[in-house]
Amino acid sequence: MKKEYRSHCPINFSQEIFGDKWSLLIIRDIMFKGKRYYGEFLNSEEKISTNILADRLEKLEDNKIIIKVSDVNNLSKFIYTLTDKGIDLLPLLLEMIVWGAKHDKQTKAPPEFINRFISDKESLILEIKKNLHFD
Amino acid sequence: MKKEYRSHCPINFSQEIFGDKWSLLIIRDIMFKGKRYYGEFLNSEEKISTNILADRLEKLEDNKIIIKVSDVNNLSKFIYTLTDKGIDLLPLLLEMIVWGAKHDKQTKAPPEFINRFISDKESLILEIKKNLHFD
DNA sequence: CTGTATCCTTAGGGATACTG
DNA sequence: CAGTATCCCTAAGGATACAG
């Protein structure tokens, strides 16, 4: 696990944890697409390779963003879910969706989602959070 | 300039533009510390190296996040400022500050800033934005 | 001092083979 | 299928030298 930070500026802290091209996509898949299994992450649109996926899952787990538990229905696989610390990233991800959707002319973000967030931020956050607690 | 994206998911789009360890620190320096010159960025706490700084300034400019103009008072240097697209990153950066401050026990984020954002998000955003328009 | 360029090392990442 | 491991190439980044 990472122990030394270049600084304790909260932006730097955040970037040292998930400031790469893949980590937030995994979090996105759990948060918005309900994915929980290794194979589901592998099949995401951006085609992450298996070594990178394993590495990022481990780093996210080390940083207590996700938690990995055995699937009681199939002991040879694991379920990856967000911790509370991971769920706390929701507002940040939503702002990223709004920014990306606004500035990418080819965005795939559904306008009704963006509009709902803009007009009714807090209730949307609460609604999504409800679905993130599996325990 | 980057032309092909792995996908047009807005989170992926965002991460392909500023999903690295340095870009958002430059934006932070402009946004919250009023920095505008190459040398000011070089002196930031995290000690970015000069080649990386030059590369990121160029990429941010290519992506229309910042704009580079000659300093009329000193024609051998440039002033780097945020475009509207860059200023649009403010809410995202603020959420990142909140998350980082909450989850880094050694954070340097001033609690009064965090509290103000949590209790009075919109007015804080407006106030900061006012100071970002130099034109 | 404002950048650019070069050298070199390390980290990121793609392809693919492999184990249970 | 779930994940690990290896091979190899490219991109990121640090140090430092250099030019205006």
Q: What residues contact residue B29 under an 8 Å CB cut-off, 6+ apart?
A: B35, B40, B41, B44
Q: Is the CB of residue A27 less than 8 Å from the CB of residue A85? A: no
Contact B19, A21 (CB under 8 A): yes
Domains of chain A, by residue range, sit at 1-83, 89-135
User: Does residue A1 carry a pLDDT above 80?
Assistant: no
If you search the block for the tokens 């980082």, which residue do you land on?
B100
Write the CA distances from B77 to A56, A98, B36, B39, B43, integer angstroms: 40, 34, 10, 10, 16
pLDDT value at residue B1: 45
Rounded CA-CA distance B59/B18 in Å is 9
* Nearest C-alpha neighbor of A57 from the set A100, A86, A91, A90: A86
Query: In Å, how far from its chain's centre is CA B55?
Result: 15
Q: What is the DSSP string of A10-58?
A: HHHHHHHHH-SSSHHHHHHHHHHH---SHHHHHTSTT---HHHHHHHHH
Report whether B53 contacts B38 (CB < 8 A): yes
- The answer on pLDDT for A3 being more than 80 is no
* CA–CA dist A71, A88 (Å, integer): 24
What the block records as the tokens of A112 is 């009704």
pLDDT at A54 > cutoff 70: yes
Q: Which two tokens stand for residue A51?
A: 């070594």
Judged by CB atoms within 8 Å, which residues 67-96 of B form the interface with A? 85, 88-89, 91-93, 95-96
> Which chain B residue has the Cα nearest residue A48?
B6
Q: Which CATH number is associated with domain B1-83?
A: 1.10.10.10
Closest CA to A19 of B125, B23, B40: B23
Sign of dihedral through CA atoms B52, B57, B61, B65?
Answer: positive
Nearest to B13 among A10, A92, A100 (CB): A100
| A12 C-beta neighbours (distance < 10 Å), count | 25
pTM: 0.94
- Measured between beta carbons, the chain B residues lying within 8 angstroms of A25 are 9, 11-12, 15
What's the Cα-to-Cα distance from A59 to each of A22, A25, A114, B25, rounded to whole Å?
11, 14, 30, 22
Kindly determine whether the C-beta of residue B50 is less than 7 Å away from any atom of nucleic acid strand C. Answer: yes
C-alpha span between B1 and A130 (Å, rounded): 40
| Strand D CB-contacts below 7 Å | A 37-39, 42, 50-51, 53-54, 57-58, 76-78; B 20-22, 47-52, 76
Residue B80 has pLDDT above 80, yes or no: yes
Q: For residues B101 and A104, what is the distance between their CA atoms, to the nearest angstrom?
A: 29
- B51 CB within 8 Å of a chain A CB: no
- pLDDT at residue B69 in the model: 93
Instruction: Give per-residue pLDDT as tens, B33-64.
Output: 999 999 999 999 999 999 999 999 999 999 99
Instruction: Write the pLDDT tens digit of every residue in A80-130.
Output: 999 999 999 999 999 999 999 999 999 999 999 999 999 998 999 999 998
Cα separation, B38 vs B55, in Å, equals 12
